[in-house]
Amino acid sequence: PELQKQEEHGELLQPLIFVLLVLCSVLLYFKVSLMDPGFVKSEEEAKAGKSEEQSMVIPQVPSPIKMRRCGYCMVKQPMRARHCRLCQHCVRRYDHHCPWIENCVGEKNHPLFIVYLSVQLVVLLWGGHVAWSGLSFEQSWDWLQHNILLLTSFLLIVIFTTVVLLLLLSHLYLISCNTTTWEFMSHHRISYLQHSELENPFDQGVVLNLWRFFC
């Protein structure tokens, strides 16, 4: 009867949504960490992946851009790709190797990584609000003893929220400029950026950059 009353008043809806968000965050974490971030395949694997029908329909036109071979895994490395020593693979549109997910963030999983950070931020903000609402500050030792766990949880949530928020904002800024973390941090060491007349040859305007990345 008590649960039925809470359901009628909508008191169970918020905890249910929160649990679903946490579950969604966990699933996104495993998806982003386990999926292929855009590993560059060797010529043999690439040829095996193409069907005979595709090879008949699509003519093999030589690319005007000369691809160099990676010094580690010896595959032909397309532009904006980089070899990750931790993953031991070259990754297309390499952004960075994320220690949180123990995987590279690249061409295939970067958009999903942004979704994961967004959901994680919502969960942390909601959790911080719940923890803060449970605190009623009093200047006494007894109060501190009874609320030390809740207070510690709130401080940890604040720290994690700040980290996730800064990470999400920095990624959204880089995406809006159509650049990657690696290109932004190592601009002076990347050959195709060094010899370019433009500071960022991939920038096509904020709207088009966001559209191409997410859509």
Query: Model pTM?
Result: 0.80
Q: What is the CA radius of gyration of the chain?
A: 24
Identify the DSSP state of 195. T
Backbone angles phi, psi at 129, to 5 degrees: -65, -40
Q: Of 159, 34, 39, which is closest to residue 90 (Cα–Cα)? A: 39
Report the run of H or E that residue 77 belongs to, with start and end: strand 76-77
Is the distance from CB of 104 to CB of 98 less than 8 angstroms?
Answer: yes
pLDDT digits (tens, 9 = 90+) for 106-146: 999 999 999 999 999 999 999 988 888 766 665 655 666 77
98 among known catalytic residues: yes
Q: Report the amino acid identity of residue 108.
A: K
Of the candidates 70, 73, 98, 215, the residue annotated as catalytic is 98
All residue ranges of the chain with pLDDT < 70 are 1-11, 43-67, 134-144
Q: Supply the pLDDT for residue 156.
A: 93
Q: Supply the pLDDT for residue 23.
A: 96
Domain spans in the chain, listed from the N-terminal domain onward: 38-45+67-106
Cα 117 to Cα 115: distance, rounded to the nearest angstrom: 5
Cα 123 to Cα 92: distance, rounded to the nearest angstrom: 30
Q: Supply the pLDDT for residue 137.
A: 60
Q: Supply the pLDDT for residue 197.
A: 79
- Name residue, tokens 């009353």: 5
111: helix, coil or strand?
helix
Two structure tokens written together for 40? 């560059």
